[in-house]
Each structure stands twice: as structure tokens, then as C-alpha cells.
Structure 1
Amino acid sequence: MELQLSTPALLFSAITLLMLAFTNRFLAIASLIRGLHKNYMKSPDQEIIVEQIHNLRRRLTLIKNMQLFGVFSFLLCIICMYLLFQGYTVAANWVFVGSMGALLVSLGLSLIEIQISTKALNLELSDMEEVFEKRISSLDVFFRKENKKNE
């Protein structure tokens, strides 16, 4: 199979959209960090805030690396197109493989970051679960009494 100039060009839109998504994640993390920083300054002894800060630091590092590999994939894609234009098809094939590999690493890091962000949301929900369970049990008792009266 021969690599054509249009093949790496197809990756441009995909990589660009991924970079946009990664940038949006970065901006959301930055906003969360600023909010947690304010909360931490008010009450530095809350354990959940410290856990969230550690979680956000890991996510920030992952997003930085996702963006790094995404940009590297984009650059290799451009180099591949240049090599194809110049007629160096063997080198272009290898550079294209490198571009796809960098994109794969970027997507893998994205998957890990999603898993960590889910854990962060579970930390937030753990605080509310006790209050929610108490409300449900009190409502449950109320409705059971109402049902018994109606029977």
C-alpha cells in the first residue's frame, strides 16, 4: 500500500479537534484549581481539598503530556506530507507511523485522565452520599406511613 499525500492530511482535522478538547480540559482544570485554592486558603485542614489538589496535579500533568504528544503527532504529520511531496516515500511512511504512534499515546493519556477525573467526581459525591442517604431514609419512612394510612 502506498501512502498518498491526502492520508496524513486527513489527520489534520482529527488532531486539531483533539487539541481543542485537550485545551478545554486544561481550562476547566485551571478553573477548578483556582476554586480549590480559595477553599484551601479558607480551611487548609480539610482532607478532601488536599486529595482533590493532588488529583488535579496529576490530571494537569497528564493533560500537558496529552497536548505534547498531540503537537508532536501534528508536526510529524506535516513532516510526512513534506516528505511525500519531495518523493521520499519510505521515510514518509516511517514518519507517518511515528505520527500515528504519538497520536495513540496522546489518546491513551486522555483515557487515563478521564479515569482520574471520574475518581475526582466520586470524591466529591462521597461527601454528599451520607446526607442524601439520610434524606432518602427519612422520606422513605414518611411515604411508608402514608401508604399504611391509605390501605
Structure 2
Amino acid sequence: MEITLTTPALLFPALSLLLLAFTNRFLGLANLIRSLKDRYASTQNRLIYNQIENLRVRLILIRNMQAFGSLSMFGCVLCMFLLFAGYATIGKYVFGFSLIMMLISLALAIREIQISVNALKLELDDLKEESRKSI
């Protein structure tokens, strides 16, 4: 397979959008954690504490998603440099490394989404339980 300078450059828009999405998720979680922490401090509600613990796991996943996405971007730039310098074989391996880092980042994103959906399901189940008690 022949690889040119434009091949790794094709990943830049995708990686940039992924990193932007991951950063937005991080900022959203950070705000949610702050507000839940304040609510927990005033109510000592166990459900809120469990939500915060869930968010802690998600925060770690998002940090890792960002790290692997950044490594993928770094690998693409390094690949372009190696190709420019005439090291096509090494450049191919570095590009392969970049693709693997991107795959890991996407796999972590899928896991984070699963955890997020499960947390929302628990919240909805709790709401359903409260509505049954009030009837």
C-alpha cells in the first residue's frame, strides 16, 4: 500500500471534531458534577452520591478518550513528517499506530455512552418508583 502526505491529513477533520465532542462532554460532566455535589452536600441523598460516582467513571473514560484521540492526532502529524522526510515505511507504521489510537478512543466513547444511558435509565426507574409511591 502506498501512503502519501494527504492520507494522514484526511484524519484531521475527523479527529478535530472528535476531540471537540469529547471536550464538550467533559465540560458538561464537570458542570453536572459541581451541581450534584452542591445538592449532595445539602441533602446527603444516596442516589445523588451514586450519580456522582457514575460521573467519576465517565470522567475517567472521557479523559482517556481525549488522550487516545490526541495520540492519534500526534501520530498523524508524525506520520506526515516521516513521509515528508522520506521514511515511507516507518510512516506507514506510525499511521497504523494512529488508526489504532483512534479506534481505542472510539471504543472508549462507546463505553462512556453505554454508562451514560444506564445512568439515565436508573434515574428514570427512580422517577417511576416515586410516582408509584405517590399514587
Give your verdict on TM over 0.5. Answer: yes
**Structure 1 counterpart of 2:89:** 90
Deviation at 1:131, TM superposition (A): 4.2
Find the aligned partners of 2:111 and 2:54 in 1 and give their Cα distance: 12
Please identify the structure whose Cα radius of gyration is greater.
1
2:98 is matched with 99
Corresponding residue of 1:30: 30
**Is the CA contact (8 Å cut-off) linking 1:8 and 1:81 kept in structure 2?**
yes
Distance 1:100 1:26, change over 3 A: same
Aligned to 1:41: 41
- Secondary structure of 1:3's counterpart equals coil
Whole-Å separation in 1 of the counterparts to 2:104 and 2:55:
20
Distance in 2 (alpha carbons) for counterparts of 1:76 and 1:131: 51
Contact kept in structure 2, 1:76 and 1:95, CA below 8 Å: yes
8 Å CA contact retained: 1:48, 1:123: no
**Segments of 4+ moved more than 4 angstroms:** 131-135
- Counterparts of 1:111 and 1:19, CA distance in 2: 14
* 5+ residue gaps, structure 1: 139-151
Q: What SS is found at the alignment partner of 1:2?
A: coil
Residue correspondence of structure 1 range 125-144 to structure 2 within 5 A: 125-132=124-131
Deviations 1:18-60 (A, max 9, x none): 000000000110011011001111011x221111011000000
Task: State the alpha-carbon separation in 2 of the partners of residues 85 and 51 from structure 1.
Answer: 51
Equivalent residue number for residue 108 of structure 1:
107
Instruction: Give % identity.
Output: 52
DSSP-derived class of the 1:4 partner: coil
Give the TM-score, by structure 1 length.
Answer: 0.85
1:130 Cα deviation after fit: 2.6
SS in 2 for 1:30: helix
Q: How many residues align?
A: 135
TM-score by length of 2: 0.95
Partner residue of 2:75? 76
In the aligned structure 1, how far is the partner of 2:102 from the partner of 2:29?
A: 22
Does 2:51 match 1:52? yes
For 1:50 and 1:133, the matched residues in 2 are separated by: 23
